[in-house]
Structures are given as C-alpha cells and as structure tokens.
Structure 1
Amino acid sequence: MEKKILVLLCLLPIMLFAQNPKKKQSLEELYIIKNDSLTIPLDEVIVLDKREFSSDTERRYYYWYYKKVQKAYPFARIASDTLVEINNQLEGIKSKRKRKKKVKEIQDFMEGEFSGQLKKLTRTEGRILIKLIHRQTGETMYDLIKEYRSGWKAFWYNSSANMFRLSLKKEYKPQEDPLDFIVEDILQRSFINGTLDKREPKIPIDYYKLLNQYHDIDVEQELTIYIDKYLK
C-alpha cells in the first residue's frame, strides 16, 4: 500500500502561485480566394495505433500507471500556467519587498486552494508530478524552490522528500527513462482523446522518435522493477 505524500503540501504550493488563467479562445482565420470558397486552417490531427498488450497483467499495470498520470498532470499544468502568470505580475514590480509580498500572498492562496487535493497524492503520483513539473516548466522542483524561496529551503525540502524516496532534482527524460516514456505515451493519448488539457512541454520531446525507440517496451517488466524498488 502506497503512503500518502504529506510532504508535498509543503513543496508544491511554492510553484502553484495563482489561479489557473483561463485559456484564450483563438479565432480560426478565414481566407477568401478567387472562386469565393473559404479555406479554414485546422489543427493537426494525430492518429495513434491502439496500444497492444502481451497479457492482461501488462494491461492492468499500464492502466494503473495511467490513472497516476491522470491524477498528477493537472497540477503540473497549473504550475506551468501559473509561472507564466506570476512572472507577468512581477514584471512591473521593482521593489524586492513588494515582489516578496506578492509571491507570499499568492502562495498562501494556493496553499488554501489545493492543500486538500495534494493530501490525497500517493508516492507514485508525487514522483510523476516531480517529473512533470520539469516537463512543463523546464526547471526541476528543486530549482524552482531555490529561485522563489531560497537555497536553504530547497535543500531542506529535498532532504525531507528523500525520506519518501523522492528527489526534487529529478528531470523528465523519456528518451532515457522507460518509465518517463510510459508517462509521455499516456499523456499523448490523453491529449488526443480529450481527457487531459494539452500544454506544450518546455523541454524538447520527439514523441514519434520515442515510439520507434520503445517499440518493444515491456510495460509489465518496467513497472514491476519500479514497484519492487520504490513501493515495497
């Protein structure tokens, strides 16, 4: 049974600084050509082959991890959106004291807004979230804490996370880590079926290249190794 990651209550609100800004609706451009017909530019449509599983066990493992990614990703998306928003708000504030006050005000709001949800994260969801924070912001949780709080707090929070076999310095590397690829595969399929709201990553990811690289990945084996190493 996975332990609840209470320590994330102290870690995540540092990044989740403001309300999730509403996504702006873009208008499709219309081009009138000589014969009076209209050409409407549409978003690219991506079609993926249905994922095949070698056994029922592999399917169960995949969808177990699928649910974990679905739970963690929205927090990473909010963190990404919010970092943009908070930087915009701080741009016109020159005083260090006022900047610090503004960050503190928004941080307090976010702690009250999300603390109940973060309490429910499991160790696996916390691990995935740390990776996805890096995917969506281009920075590790450790660096973000160091940037917005202090180096000492970053060290202390990372030491606390280590007690749960978590590291705030972890980066998202699907080209090197099979588990990260599984996360990316789940994300891409979730974006396509509309179960997750897509945000472009801040790090370069070539998903189609990854599909070829991990064509023969054994999901059951990779997740079994993970469970034996971190959850037992």
Structure 2
Amino acid sequence: MLVLLCVLLGFMGFSQVPEEPLDSLSQHYIIMEGDSVMQSSIALNEVFIFGKLKFSSYNDKLRYYILRRKTIKVYPYAKLAAERLVELNDSLVYIKKNRHKRKFTRNVQKFIEDEFSEELKKLTRTEGQILVKLIYRQTGTTAFDLVKELRSGWRAFWYNTTAKMFSISIKEEFHPDAIHEDYLIEDILQRAFADFSLERQPSVLEFDYATLSNIWKDKAQTKE
C-alpha cells in the first residue's frame, strides 16, 4: 500500500491541516459556481446555506465526526495526487523515448518513497480507503487504473491483491449519489471548503452538492 500511494502522489509535498473542535460544525455557507445574479447593477454570487447537522443517534454522530477527522486528514493527499498527476503527464509529453519516460517515472517514485514514506505509513486502513475514493473524486480514475497506467497491469493487480489483505480496494470509486458514506464525505468536504479549513479543488466528477443533499433528504423521509 505504501508503494501504491507513493506512485500516485508523485512529487508530493505534505501539509498538516488544523483540526476544529467537534462542536464547531453548525451553519456555514458556500459560494456555488454558476451564473451570477444581478441586483441593482451588482453581481452577486449564489449562496448555499448549510443546515445544522442532525443525527438519529449518538453512534451516528460519532461515526460522522470520525469520518470527518479522517477525510480532512487525507484530502490534501488526494488534492496533491491530482495536481502531481497533471504535472507528471505534462513532463512526460516532452520526453520522447519510452525508456527515458520509464526512467523519469522511476526516479520520481524513488524520490517520493525516500522523502515521504514515514508520513504515508501513518495512514490507517480506513484512511487509506477514503484516500482511494478521494483520488477517484479528484482525477476521475481509480487508483488501480492510475497504477496500471504508470507502472504495469501486473503491478496494478498485485497492489490490489495486497490491498485486499487489509480490506482496501484500490478499484474503489466515489458515488455520493448512491452511497451514503460517500455523500457524508462530500458533505464534510463542502463544509470544510466553506469555512476555509480545506483548500477547494474542483472535482472532475459531475455532481451538484445541493442536488445530492435533496436526494439523501428524500431517502431519509421515505424511510421514516
């Protein structure tokens, strides 16, 4: 798993994200992308108001806060993975020979393993699985396919088999419209973006947070 993350994060820099008190999640707002609203000749951005979090039980509340802590911890890795993947691909464009491309990629990997392996070792199993989902959110490609592209199909298969030993699938995708935990991760991210505890990086996936919220609100009402 360590080698997998090193390959995906290429050129990665590590940054700590300050944590907030658990009770600080109340009501925030977010500037939504889209058309501006004109009022008295002043362009106003659309604003989304976050409702106060509600939980059906203490255990649900606890699970959310644990998920929040882990998501905020690993999101910077996924963000950097997307950025570095673009940088790596841009660099490879200027390298014409395949053997030179392979050598360049190996050198990048070795640098990352030497420089950041201790940080990556600190990730727990659940943090690793959340990271895999967020990598898909930021790149639109599974971690398995990224490794397959950067290394080889055999290595991607081997990494996936090894990850399964720790109950981690690097083929995992991110579907906040269909999987409730994925929606909670998205909710956590949007609130963190709104209060500037995380730096926003647009997802390559096409979904709207307000629409997602309505979907899961309707599902909750149907269960009741």
Would the TM-score normalized by the shorter structure come out above 0.5? yes
Paired with 1:217 and 1:123, the residues of 2 have a C-alpha distance of 29
- Counterpart in the other structure of 1:123: 125
Give the fraction of aligned pairs with identical amino acids, expressed as a percent: 45
Paired with 1:81 and 1:206, the residues of 2 have a C-alpha distance of 22
Distance 1:84 1:181, change over 3 A: same
- Counterpart in the other structure of 2:135: 133
One of 168, 173, 185 as aligned partner of 1:171: 173
Amino acid at match of 1:141: A
| Residue 152 (structure 1) shift | 0.4
Amino acid at match of 1:48: F
Contiguous gaps of at least 5 residues in structure 2: 14-40
- Counterpart in the other structure of 1:15: 8
Q: Under a length normalisation based on structure 2, what TM-score does the superposition of the two structures give?
A: 0.80
- Counterpart in the other structure of 1:160: 162
RMSD after superposition: 2.0
**Structure 1 contact 142–158 (Cα < 8 Å) conserved:** yes
| Residue 52 (structure 1) shift | 2.1
- Counterpart in the other structure of 1:108: 110
Distance 1:68 1:19, change over 3 A: closer
SS in 1 for 2:49: coil
Distance 1:202 1:69, change over 3 A: same
| Residue 53 (structure 1) shift | 2.5
Are residues 1:86 and 2:88 paired? yes
Paired with 1:103 and 1:68, the residues of 2 have a C-alpha distance of 29
Matches within 5 A, 1:197-208: 197-208=199-210
| Residue 112 (structure 1) shift | 2.1
Paired with 2:170 and 2:99, the residues of 1 have a C-alpha distance of 27
Amino acid at match of 1:10: V
| Residue 130 (structure 1) shift | 0.7
Paired with 2:75 and 2:210, the residues of 1 have a C-alpha distance of 21
Once the two structures are superposed, residues 40-93 of structure 1 have per-residue CA deviations (whole angstroms, 9 ceiling, x without a partner) of x78755431222233433322211110010111111011000011111111111
**Structure 1 contact 46–192 (Cα < 8 Å) conserved:** no
Number of equivalent positions: 193
Contiguous gaps of at least 5 residues in structure 1: 1-7, 21-37, 219-232
Q: Under a length normalisation based on structure 1, what TM-score does the superposition of the two structures give?
A: 0.77
